[in-house]
A and B are shown apart, each in its own frame.
Chain A
Amino acid sequence: MIRGISRRGLLKALAAGGLYGGSRVSGAGAPEAPLFRDIAAETGLNFHHSNGATGQHYMPEAMGPGGALFDYDNDGDLDIYLVQGTRFNRSGKLLSPPPSGWKPGNRLFKNLLAETGELRFVDVTEKAGVGYMGYGMGVAVGDYDNDGLLDLYVTNFGRNVLYHNNGDGTFTDVTREAGVDDPHWSTSAAWVDFDGDGYLDLFVCNYVDFTVEGNRACSSPAGEPDYCTPKMYHPVPSRLFRNLGNGKFEDITEASGINRAYGPALGVVCADFNGDGRTDIYVANDTAANQLWLNQGDGTFRDAALDMGVAYSMDGLAKAGMGVTLGDVENNGGQVLLVTNLTREGVTVFRGDSRGQFDDVTAEFGLLEATFGNTGFGAGWFDYDNDGWLDLFITNGAVTILGSEHRGASTYAQRKQLFHNEGRRKRFRETSRLGGAAFKIEEVGRGAAFGDVDNDGAIDIVVTNDNGPVRLLRNQLWRNEAPSRRHWLTVKLESPRTNRFAVGALVGVVRSGQNTLWRQVHTDSSYLSASDVRVHFGLGDQPQIEAVLVQWPDHKHERFEGIKADRIMTLRQGAGKGI
């Protein structure tokens, strides 16, 4: 086990320069043009999820799908992998047939980004060999064999699939050889090097023991046939697979103790929650207490969610946890964890303190009322306007029939939501109405993956919909703001000593007279989805960067100087100044 100083130790030591100092770009002056525009169809990203519903209300129909933003061919731009459903009832008539030209199975779209910034996607699924045709749920992205190529782990209702990236535009299903299959109903998954051996291990969330044969009949309060709550079934323990470094994994679910407590797991995010230098695993459970698996450093985990205040909401209620996101939203080096929940619950926001204790600050952040009416799934803290403060996106869609007043295009459809971080006011302001047409459409939103698809320095979002089309929400920042007013930096890490993409590393941007901005390298969080492994920083109106600090997964610390804003940088371990 590699040990170093804790994250907070690093922050304390290095983040000199004045917390809360300086000024930030104000959010004043609402842009005329919408903040985002859906460009999926016009760029060739033609994908329509089919949940195969025929009226039996099989629960998996309501839960997918997810998607991933990742550069599978290392050409410098983000490609998109989308997970597809199928049908349980072969003879039944589909309630909502997919559009003409629809193709079954998961789909990989290659990004043909032109130097002009023009985006175009082409479906390369067949060539890549990643078109698994099962009842798909989600996807996790990570380079498990450190060959510099991002691999895919696809979760399903049924057996899961590990696709090894061959580096020639093709993938190979290595699930059996690797030993990472799981026959249960898996949902989100996360790649995490929990033991610090330099190889990404794999955590897989499992949901409930639903079977088609054992499908229960449930109804809405008004008596209409409807999807059941997870309480109608039994939860299934999640799984932890340890990467042995030779292409094989060992199932250490039992040995690690990670199955000692479990609920219907839907969301997962990995980070060092208690500042002891080890990566922990937070699991959002649907209608049950959430778990925070504290890494004990000896291959075992202990659930500390209750002690640390992240098991329940403030009033001790276990809500219907779906998606999760974690970030330093207050720019003070702290962690703020958000869990999306069911309609009439609102999201739960936990703010961590220096003692590893978390408080429910949902109301303080102004996020309770605004999210109460929606069932949130995919979510992410991200800086959509590059003002240096992490904003929030949530994709919504109900799982049970909505009251007629709230019904949109379908019985379960809801609108996406965008919130602006008001900075030092420590509150969020809903800006969905500025989001553009995509935020006015009611859909059954599920997954959300975040990344800069056109490499223009503004974060875009891929939104997956249950039984609906995928959306690629292109950030319109540069159509609203002069580039000189909103600076940015995107950092890609390369490590020859740890996992290649340095998942788990912390990157800090030191600015004179301002807070150091901290971001963690990850692809996990949100719901059923994987985001860009690169880290993005909005810098506001100050392009000057004093230094970039990196705490590598092996706890080595480096300082990189001479970094210019408004570009994508690759930082290699060893090339910086050791600290």
Chain B
Amino acid sequence: MQGSAEPNVKIDRLMIGIRRAAWYVGMALALSPGTCTWSAMAERPDLPQLPPLATLRYPPAVRAAVEEAVAAVEAKPRDAAANGTLAMVLHANHLIDEAVACYQRAHLLDPSTFRWAYFLGLIQASQADCEHATATLREALRLDPEYLPAELKLGACLLGSGQWQEASSLYEAILKKHPASAEAHYGVGRVHAVRNDLNGAILSFRKACELFPGFGAARYALGHSYERLGKKDQAAAELALFERDKRSAPRLEDAMLDEVNALNADAVEELRKGDELVRSARFEDAAAAYEKALVVNPRLVPAHVHLISLYGRLGQAAKAEEHFQAAVTLKPDEPESYFDYGLLLAGQEKFPEAEKAFRRTLEINSAYAGAHINLGYMLETQGKVPEALAEYRKAVENDPGDPQAQFNAGRILVHQKNYQEGIQHLLKSLSTTDKESKPSYLYAVGAAYTRSGDRENGLHYLRLARQEAVAGRQSRLVESIDDDLRTLGAEVPRN
């Protein structure tokens, strides 16, 4: 007899949810509630004071996030990362003034780390403090001369403070490295426009619009330049396009800033709600929560990722596809995106495509046990059993505590009559905490022992499996076990 338990595609969004939720867990703080005054903290004389934080006024999620970061700074007042992380949390939650001092501290404590200089420059620029932002961003670019978002922010600052020559030189330098940067072409156009070189401005603005047709600011500037030249028709055409796209701008990949935005407590709170709703199998509500998180922060990759599998589960494949595209655009090397996309495709029985998605997941993270399991399953459905077993073995190797990996490997080995090794794997699968799977795993162990000739152990595990299946009201499984017990001539208990 063959074990009747089927290999399952691992759909374990809870795992991700729990990982994310752990960010919040254990935030019990030693701080007294209310305002953090920092009075007890040791300060270096040259470090700016940390700002008072009226945490009582913050919404609960923001307060929790801020207080956790505060606790870390209290524990290590001179730790650049702790100060910087607090700044990032404040920054993400729009507490800009408060964030500035924290970034300054992080930067002073660790002047050789790019991110603190960059974030400080970024936030200074956002306050139109171009004098300081220019200096700070130049400092950041000395640490990492290739970080395009920092270069573009510096350019915007130079334009904002009327430093046309410096802006021009910078944008020209950017274009040598990034000729397809629509923002840089726009910047060059701005310099031309202010120097009344309208033809030059038009060339640059037009190039920016070619590179990104929905570039509202460039379109506006192009239309306005035509107006100034008296080219009314062209101006009208461009301004009409501007009215259509006026809020649109090129999406600048700024992985560093994404890290900040991911700390937005409102969005994170919605993510957490979504995770809880998934746990409660309230999938539509969960999808709504993730969508709400994306309203707060449209670049929140985890929300897009969750929505891939959720919409797949809800039968809304187009939406799932949309979120997959968004996720990989925002973060091309996020394994979870491909993993969940693989689940979506597998659910649609597009196995070759799903296999590809899982392979891509493993290219990004070869230690991803879940992806090995699912790739194994894809191969198994195509009759490629040895290849499937190899994947299951890799899953076990990377995560020996994964019951499903153990189960799938054991199941194939038993099928190949490698009972000893197979049973060892199957026994390890019994560590599962998933009550739904446990009866099947027990059944597989019983069946393996039986097939190996160990009737006693076989009957023992079959009876255990039956008990669990009855408790779990898995009637079809109970029927299968009863058939096997009858075949073995054993007594079949009455329910």
Contact = CB atoms under 8 A, between A and B. Distances in A.
A406 B57 contact: no
A307 interface: yes
A357 interface: yes
B128 A314 contact: no
A372 interface: yes
Contacts of A366: 162
A250 interface: no
B199 interface: no
Interface string A294-312: 0000000000001111001
Contact of A222 (B62, B224, B239): B62
Contacts of A368: 128, 160-161
Given A314-B217, A363-B159, 13 more contacts: A222-B59, A223-B62, A307-B236, A309-B227, A312-B220, A314-B190, A353-B228, A359-B228, A363-B161, A363-B162, A369-B129, A404-B52, A405-B98
B383 interface: no
B246 A316 contact: yes
Interface in A156-188: none
A406 B62 CA distance: 20
Interface in A210-229: 219, 221-224
A223 B54 CA distance: 11
Interface of B: 51-54, 57-59, 62, 93-98, 100-101, 126-131, 159-162, 190, 193-194, 216-217, 219-221, 224, 227-228, 230, 235-236, 239, 242-243, 246
Contact of A357 (B100, B190, B227, B236): B227
B93 A221 contact: yes
Interface string A361-385: 0011010110011000000000000
A229 to B, nearest CB: 14
Interface size class of A (residues with CB under 8 A): 20 to 34
B193 to A, nearest CB: 8
A348 to B, nearest CB: 13
B274 to A, nearest CB: 20
29 contacts: A221-B95, A222-B57, A223-B62, A306-B239, A307-B235, A307-B239, A309-B224, A309-B228, A312-B246, A316-B220, A316-B221, A316-B242, A316-B246, A344-B126, A357-B228, A359-B224, A363-B160, A369-B128, A369-B129, A369-B131, A372-B127, A373-B128, A403-B95, A403-B96, A403-B97, A404-B51, A404-B53, A405-B100, A405-B101
A320 to B, nearest CB: 15
A345 B96 CA distance: 15
Contacts of A263: none
A369 B227 contact: no
B62 A314 contact: no
Of B217, B224, B239, chain A has the most CB atoms within 10 Å of the CB of: B224
A240 to B, nearest CB: 25
Nearest to A405: B97
A359 B201 CA distance: 14
B62 to A, nearest CB: 6
A359 B95 CA distance: 33
A403 B126 contact: no
A362 to B, nearest CB: 9
Nearest to A366: B162
A346 interface: yes
A316 B218 CA distance: 8
Contact of A369 (B96, B98, B130): B130
A355 interface: yes
A398 to B, nearest CB: 13
Given A363-B159, A369-B130, A404 B97 contact: yes
A353 B227 CA distance: 12
A307 B216 CA distance: 15
Interface of A: 219, 221-224, 306-309, 312, 314-317, 344, 346, 353, 355, 357, 359, 363-364, 366, 368-369, 372-373, 403-406
B217 A315 contact: yes
A222 B162 contact: no
Contacts of A307: 227, 235-236, 239
Contacts of B216: 316
A495 B57 CA distance: 59
A346 B93 CA distance: 22
A312 B128 CA distance: 18
A541 B87 CA distance: 53
A246 B230 CA distance: 44
A579 B262 CA distance: 69
Nearest to A360: B224
B154 to A, nearest CB: 15
Contacts of A346: 128
Contacts of B246: 312, 316
A316 B227 CA distance: 15
B220 A364 contact: no
B57 A224 contact: yes
Contact of B161 (A314, A316, A369): A369
Contacts of A403: 95-98
B128 A404 contact: no
Most buried by B among A344, A355, A357: A357
The 8 closest A-B pairs by CB, nearest first: A372-B128, A316-B220, A405-B97, A221-B94, A223-B59, A403-B97, A315-B217, A363-B162
Given A316-B216, A316-B219, A353-B228, A405 B51 contact: yes
Contact of B162 (A315, A357, A364, A372): A364
B97 A355 contact: no
A317 B220 CA distance: 9
Residue among B129, B242, B246 with the highest chain A CB neighbour number at 10 A: B246
Contacts of B101: 405
A372 B156 CA distance: 15
Nearest to A356: B227
Contacts of B194: 364
Contacts of A317: 217
B227 A222 contact: no
A316 B217 contact: yes
B127 A222 contact: no
Contacts of B58: 222-223
Contacts of A222: 54, 57-59, 62, 93-95
A403 B53 CA distance: 10
A234 to B, nearest CB: 19
A224 B56 CA distance: 10
Contacts of A315: 217, 220-221
A405 B98 CA distance: 7
A423 B358 CA distance: 68
Contacts of A224: 57
Contacts of B54: 222, 404
Contacts of A309: 224, 227-228
B34 to A, nearest CB: 14
A376 to B, nearest CB: 13
A346 to B, nearest CB: 6
Nearest to B236: A307
A403 B128 CA distance: 15
Contacts of A406: 97
B357 to A, nearest CB: 38
Contacts of A363: 159-162
A308 B242 CA distance: 14
A442 to B, nearest CB: 15
B97 to A, nearest CB: 3
Contacts of B57: 222-224
A312 B96 CA distance: 26
Contacts of A369: 128-131, 160-161
B467 to A, nearest CB: 51
A47 to B, nearest CB: 32
A269 B133 CA distance: 35
Nearest to A307: B227
Nearest to A224: B57
A363 B101 CA distance: 26
A241 B365 CA distance: 71
Nearest to A406: B97
A403 B217 CA distance: 29
- Which of A308, A315, A368 has the most C-beta atoms of chain B within 10 angstroms of its own C-beta? A315
